[in-house]
Structures are given as C-alpha cells and as structure tokens.
C-alpha cells in the first residue's frame, strides 16, 4: 500500500514521508523506534500514516498513548481527517470520570478521588440507568459503537450521542476500543498496572499483536515515577479523620488517630530522610496487632461504611479516606518502593521506575516513541532503561523549514536563591517590552506557578491594549478550552503559562496565534528525598549522567517544548527569548534543537534593547 493512500492530506510536508516510511518499516519489522521531529513538523499525521499502513499489513491493532487529554484531542482530530480519506476504524477513551453522565445529572458533587467508589456503588446497586441500558438497548447500543469507530467523535460529540440514547459513554468507548484498529488513550491505560487491564485484558487486546505509539515520550520517566510512587501528608491524614467523624465512623477515626501518632513518632524521631519500611511495619504490629494495618486499609479502600454513611447523612463523598487507604495498601504490600520522609510528608517511591520498562515494550509487536526533544538520544535511551541495542533512533530533517531567532538574556535568572520582587520586576519589564514590539500574539512560559503569578501581576500593569490570558492552578478542561478560544478570537493576545503545563506541550497554536515565545527560567525539580533516592539508584548502577538525566534534561526539554509552540507550519518566522543566564552555557547550547541555534545571540539586554531587537526582526523601525 502506498503511504499517500493513507495520509490525511493532499501532500506531504518536507520530511513527513520519510518519517512515515521509517515508522512503517519499524512496525513491520517489530522494532522499538525513537523518532524525533521539531514542533510544528506534523509528527502526528506522519506517524499515523506509518502505523496505520503497518497495522493493515500485519493484522495488528494500534494503541496511541498520550500524556494529556488535550493531546488526545489533537490525535483524534488527525484521525478524523485520515478517516475521510482512508477507511480505518478508530476510537478514543478517557477515564470513567470524564464520561459519567450520572454525576452530571445529580446535585451531589463527586470528587475525582472518590469517583471509583461512586461508580461502583451506583452500578452494583442498579442505580445507574445509563449502565443498565447497555444490556437493555441491544441493537441501538451496538449501532452507536459502529458509528463511533467509523468516524471517531470528539469527546463532547460522544457524550451528546450517548445521552441521546441514554447509555453510558464509557461503555460505548470501551466496546469501540475492542473493535477499532486504532485506539487513542491516556498513558494510564498503557503504563499504570491498575488501569492497563481495562485495555489489554477486558478488551482482549493482545500486546504481541499491538503496535504501541507513545506521544511526547520525553515525559515517560517522570510519568512512570509518579505511577509507582505515592505520598501521604499529615494534613491529608487529619482530613481523613475529620471525614470519618463526619460520617459517624468512630472506630475508623480512632484507628486513624492512632496511625497519626505512630507515623509522627517515626517522622520526628528518625534522623535523615530514609525510613526502614520493615521497622515501621513491625512497630505497627507490636502496637496494634498483626492484622490491624491490613484491616484498616481494607476498610478505607472498600469504603463501604463511608459510602452508605455519605448517602444516609447526605454528606460529601469521602476522598481523603480513600487516599489514606490506598497509601496503607501500598505500604503493607510487597513492593520495591522505599519509604522516605520530609517535613510533614511520607512517601513511597520507586527509585528505579524504568527497571522493567524494556521488557514491557518488547511485549508489543512494535513500539514508536515520538518526541520533539530526545537529544542526546543515548541519555534518553538509558533514562528509559533501554540499551543501545534495544532501540533505533530517527531524526526528521527540519532545518530549512523555519526561520527563528533566539535571544538569551543573561541579565536575569529564576535561580532559587536569587528570586526576589526586584528580580521579578526586571523580568516583567522585559516581557512587557517584548510584547509591545510584537503585533501578533506572544506566549510567556514560566518554570512554575510561584514564578508565573508575580510576573503576570507585574507585567499586566505594563501591557496595555492586549488580551491577556493566564494558565491558573487547577484549570479544568472546559476552562482551558475557553481560554484557548479567547486566544483565537483576540489577535495579538498574550498567553502566560507554565513550562510542562497543558499549553506548553502538544497544543496546536494554528492560524499564527503566536509570533514570539518568552521562556522564563529553568523548571529544575526542587531537591527532595524522592530525587535523592533516584540519584542514589542511578549512581549504584554506574550511570555517569544522573544529574543530566533527572534534573537538567527534563528542565531543558520543558523549556524547548515551550519555545516551539509558535512553530506550527513550514516557512514560519518567529522569535524565542530565553530569559535566564543559565541558558548561556556550552552544555545547554549543545542540547538545544538545531532550529534554535541557527540564529542565536546572547548578552545582558535591557528592555529597550529587547524591544529594538524584536522590531528589527520584524522589519519595522524602532
């Protein structure tokens, strides 16, 4: 089959066909491929072309895993275009929480942490008519599934369709996944052992007959670390005690009070950050009995008493009780995690989150890991627990496609010890000068919300006549969609976001929404016992680049991903400003994508100079 027959557009952009061909060859040969192409290259369309053609040739299915819901929507958009030119069945699936129509109908607020119980309680007590209709509708339900896989709908369209026939959208999506050739899912359904059975066991997908695509693969190690680790704070424990009392669970409240005293004794009495897990468990057994911890964790995770209490007394559904219970289950189970402490927090962490990753990938027919930033590839390969013989790399040629000028301003920094109102004011004045000199939109990305918020506050007073949009903490999907639409509707808008956030990776800023990007500082992970444990594990394994792997590279990748948000099509011209002296080093320049280094200047620039550089780039007089 010719690749042109599968491609969603009339013609390939430069480099796209080469990527699609390499992906196709890799999938047929059963290899692991690391594919790199810059932002705006059109990776999704090219990779889909390669994997769909390979799937049809080998009789395999495709699972396309994405980190965020926004990235899933982008892949779904490309699949929908592809289906208009080539017949292939496809489906996407988010979490049950995202699909539940019952909670939308009711007046009770359902926290996401409690949703698993909420769904189980209603289904097993025949209280969810949407689920009951799955069996009752018969042919109408199956017809809905057939329509879904023929033309993969958006999330909202699936909800509307399911509501019109009064059936559970999750069940529609789940059956569609089993029947479709291409399935688009969040990382959890592939890499989280608690969620993966939904895809590979219950839907009868065999990994050996599945081609796996991982989007934004530079996030994989961080994701695996999070899946295998969990934390418990004293505040969460206190909230769980309060929830138990509110629901008249006096025995559970007393047990949680005892647990709090025991844990605080270890947190306050043990030197250092590493705790002996066996010693902690033995202390529990001595004080409370052999089965006490297991009984308590079962009571909290099953949450049956809490569930009925919440219904009977019309109380808020418990969430902290579940969190404490889940922590206790993992604490008492056999696991390779270690127990650490800091301040008022306990954590179970996996110091080697990629230990089994290579063997897991080899269980698939083929795996394609896609990213805009995998340089240096050898370090990236090792960060995932792979050897040089396990995977091949492919870098799409993109240099002639864009014209970008990069400016490094060494007069400012977000280095923790140098953060101050005065430093933030200097940064804000530079952001305002850059925005004023650009007629079109500007994206501003800070390393964290704690840096973003004061800079946004200061800069917003200096920027006049522009629509300003900021990525707030805890932004919902609906709020994010509305914010993004406001950027499209107001030419010259300024977006303030965080590196590694929902707008700095995977988002498609089409229609020349942004003409320049300002990257403020480096999003280096703060020192913590969790990080120390991972460093120690890598050093024991003889890894020479542990700091580069765990700290510097993840921060630089977030910065470079943000820097490419305005590069969405061939021939694009744009500006990138890196506001931090730490970007001006030989090591960082070596790690920069080639398109950022072609026209690069650095120095100590005041706001007026940055304004002038911007004007000159766009061909205007000062």
Other residues' Cβ atoms within 10 Å of the Cβ of residue 441: 26
Q: What does the alpha-carbon distance between residue 428 and residue 437 come to, in Å, rounded to a whole number?
A: 14
**pLDDT per residue over 136-164, tens digit each?**
988 899 999 999 999 999 888 999 999 99
**pLDDT per residue over 478-492, tens digit each?**
788 888 888 888 889
- Strand 338-342 with 345-349, pairing: antiparallel
Helix axes 277-288, 250-269, angle to 10 degrees: 140
**Percent of the chain whose pLDDT exceeds 90:** 56
Q: What does the alpha-carbon distance between residue 153 and residue 566 come to, in Å, rounded to a whole number?
A: 27
Provide CATH code, domain 402-617.
3.40.50.300
Q: Is the bond leading into 247 cis (omega within 30 degrees of zero)?
A: no
- Strand 274-275 with 338-342, pairing: antiparallel
Which residues, at least 6 apart from 7, have a Cβ–Cβ distance to it below 8 Å? 16, 20, 45, 49, 82, 85
Query: Which of 500, 554, 549 lies closest to 525, judged by CA?
Result: 554
The domain limits of the chain are 1-88+181-227+356-398, 97-180, 230-349, 402-617
* Res. 251: pLDDT tops 80: yes
Which residues, at least 6 apart from 386, have a Cβ–Cβ distance to it below 8 Å? 32, 357, 358, 361
Q: What is the pLDDT of residue 506?
A: 66
What the block records as the tokens of 586 is 């030989």
Confidence band (pLDDT; 50, 70, 90) for 622? very low
Which residues are paired to 35 by β-bridges?
Answer: 370, 394
Average pLDDT over residues 448-469: 94
Q: What is the pLDDT of residue 173?
A: 94
| Residue 10: Cβ-neighbour burial (10 angstroms; 0-12, 13-18, 19+) | exposed
Cβ contact 178:203 at 8 Å: yes
* Res. 400: pLDDT tops 80: no
- Which is more confidently placed, 615 or 313? 615
Q: Do domains 1-88+181-227+356-398 and 97-180 have the same CATH topology?
A: no
What the block records as the tokens of 7 is 């491609």
Average pLDDT over residues 12-37: 94
What's the CATH fold of domain 97-180? DNA Binding (I), subunit A (1.10.30)
- Strand 182-186 with 90-92, pairing: parallel
Tell me which of 166-170, 307-311, 327-331 is least confident: 307-311
Helix (H) or strand (E) holding 517: strand 514-520
Q: Which of 315-319, 420-424, 490-494 has the highest mean pLDDT?
A: 420-424
- Mean pLDDT over each residue of the chain, to the nearest integer: 89
Tell me which of 84-88, 233-237, 392-396 is least confident: 392-396
What the block records as the tokens of 208 is 């050996």
Q: What is the pLDDT of residue 621?
A: 38
Q: What does the alpha-carbon distance between residue 448 and residue 498 come to, in Å, rounded to a whole number?
A: 6
Q: Which of 266-280, 537-551, 600-614 has the highest mean pLDDT?
A: 600-614
**pLDDT per residue over 39-76, tens digit each?**
778 899 999 999 999 999 999 999 999 998 888 988 99
Helix (H) or strand (E) holding 186: strand 182-186
Q: What is the pLDDT of residue 398?
A: 58
Confidence band (pLDDT; 50, 70, 90) for 566? confident
Helix (H) or strand (E) holding 78: helix 69-85
Confidence band (pLDDT; 50, 70, 90) for 424? very high
Sign of the dihedral through C-alpha 319, 196, 349, 254: positive
Q: What is the pLDDT of residue 54?
A: 96
What's the CATH fold of domain 1-88+181-227+356-398? Rossmann fold (3.40.50)
Q: Report the predicted TM-score, pTM, of the whole model to 2 decimal places.
A: 0.89
Q: What is the pLDDT of residue 161?
A: 93
Q: What is the pLDDT of residue 614?
A: 95
What the block records as the tokens of 53 is 């053609």
Q: What does the alpha-carbon distance between residue 121 and residue 413 come to, in Å, rounded to a whole number?
A: 52
Q: What does the alpha-carbon distance between residue 601 and residue 564 come to, in Å, rounded to a whole number?
A: 17
Average pLDDT over residues 1-11: 90
Average pLDDT over residues 94-102: 92
Helix (H) or strand (E) holding 520: strand 514-520
Q: What is the pLDDT of residue 502?
A: 82
- What is the chain's alpha carbon radius of gyration, rounded to the nearest angstrom? 26
Expressed in angstroms, the distance from the first to the final Cα of the chain is: 55
Cβ contact 436:492 at 8 Å: no
Q: What is the pLDDT of residue 313?
A: 66
Q: What is the pLDDT of residue 399?
A: 56
Provide CATH code, domain 230-349.
1.10.275.40
Query: Which of 393, 318, 415, 387 lies closest to 112, judged by CA?
Result: 318
Q: What is the secondary structure of 292-320 as a DSSP string?
A: HHHHHHHHHHH-HHHHHHHHHTTPPPPSH
Q: What does the alpha-carbon distance between residue 169 and residue 308 come to, in Å, rounded to a whole number?
A: 26
Q: What is the pLDDT of residue 511?
A: 62
Query: Which of 93, 114, 88 lies closest to 168, judged by CA?
Result: 93
């Amino acid at each position: 089959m010719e690749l042109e027959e599968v491609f969603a557009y009339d013609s390939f952009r430069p480099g796209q066909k080469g990527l699609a061909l390499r992906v196709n060859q890799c999938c047929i040969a059963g290899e692991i491929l690391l594919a790199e192409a810059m932002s705006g290259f059109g990776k999704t369309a090219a990779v889909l072309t390669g994997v769909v053609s390979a799937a049809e040739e080998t009789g395999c299915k495709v699972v396309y895993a994405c980190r965020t819901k926004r990235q899933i929507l982008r892949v779904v958009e490309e699949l929908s275009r592809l289906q208009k030119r080539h017949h292939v069945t496809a489906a996407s699936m988010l979490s049950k929480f995202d699909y539940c129509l019952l909670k939308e109908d009711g007046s009770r607020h359902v926290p996401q942490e409690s949703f698993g119980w909420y769904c189980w309680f209603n289904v097993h007590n025949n209280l969810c008519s949407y689920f009951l209709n799955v069996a009752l509708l018969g042919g109408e339900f199956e017809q809905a599934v057939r329509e879904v896989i023929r033309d993969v709908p958006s999330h909202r369209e699936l909800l509307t369709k399911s509501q019109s026939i009064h059936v559970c959208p999750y069940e529609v999506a789940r059956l569609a996944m089993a029947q479709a050739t291409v399935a688009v899912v969040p990382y959890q359904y592939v890499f989280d052992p608690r969620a993966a059975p939904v895809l590979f066991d219950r839907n009868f997908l065999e990994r050996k007959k599945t081609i796996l695509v991982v989007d934004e693969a530079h996030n994989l190690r961080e994701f695996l670390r999070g899946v295998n680790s969990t934390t418990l704070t004293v505040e969460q424990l206190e909230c769980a005690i309060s929830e138990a009392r509110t629901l008249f669970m006096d025995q559970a409240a007393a047990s949680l009070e005892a647990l709090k005293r025991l844990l605080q004794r270890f947190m306050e009495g043990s030197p250092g950050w590493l705790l002996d897990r066996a010693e902690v468990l033995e202390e529990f057994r001595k004080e409370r009995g052999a089965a006490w911890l297991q009984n308590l964790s079962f009571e909290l995770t099953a949450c049956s008493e809490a569930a009925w209490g919440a219904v009977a007394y019309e109380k808020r559904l418990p969430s902290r009780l579940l969190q404490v219970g889940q922590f206790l289950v993992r604490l008492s189970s056999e696991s390779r995690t270690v127990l650490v402490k800091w301040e008022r927090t306990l954590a179970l962490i996996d110091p080697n989150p990629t230990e089994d990753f290579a063997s897991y990938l080899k269980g698939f027919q083929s795996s394609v890991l896609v990213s805009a930033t995998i340089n240096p590839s050898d370090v990236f390969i090792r960060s995932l627990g792979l050897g040089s013989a396990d995977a091949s790399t492919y870098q799409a040629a993109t240099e002639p496609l864009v014209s970008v000028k990069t400016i490094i301003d060494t007069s400012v920094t977000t280095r923790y010890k140098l953060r101050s109102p005065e430093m933030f004011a200097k940064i804000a004045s530079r952001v305002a000068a850059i925005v004023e000199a650009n007629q079109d939109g500007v994206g501003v990305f800070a390393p964290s919300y704690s840096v973003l918020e004061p800079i946004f506050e200061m800069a917003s007073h200096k920027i006049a006549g522009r629509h300003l949009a900021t990525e707030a903490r805890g932004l919902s999907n609906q709020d994010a969609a509305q914010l993004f639409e406001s950027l499209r509707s107001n030419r010259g808008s300024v977006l303030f976001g965080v590196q590694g956030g929902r707008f700095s990776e995977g988002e498609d800023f089409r229609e020349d929404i942004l003409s320049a990007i300002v990257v403020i500082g480096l999003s280096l992970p703060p020192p913590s016992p969790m990080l120390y444990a991972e460093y120690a594990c890598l050093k024991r394994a003889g890894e020479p680049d542990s700091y580069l792997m765990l700290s510097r590279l993840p921060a630089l990748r977030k910065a470079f991903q943000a820097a490419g948000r305005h590069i969405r099509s061939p021939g694009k011209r744009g500006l990138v400003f890196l506001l931090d002296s730490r970007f001006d080093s030989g090591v960082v320049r070596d790690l920069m994508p080639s398109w950022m280094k072609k026209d690069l200047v650095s120095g100590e620039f005041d706001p007026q100079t940055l304004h002038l550089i911007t004007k000159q780039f766009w061909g205007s007089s000062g």
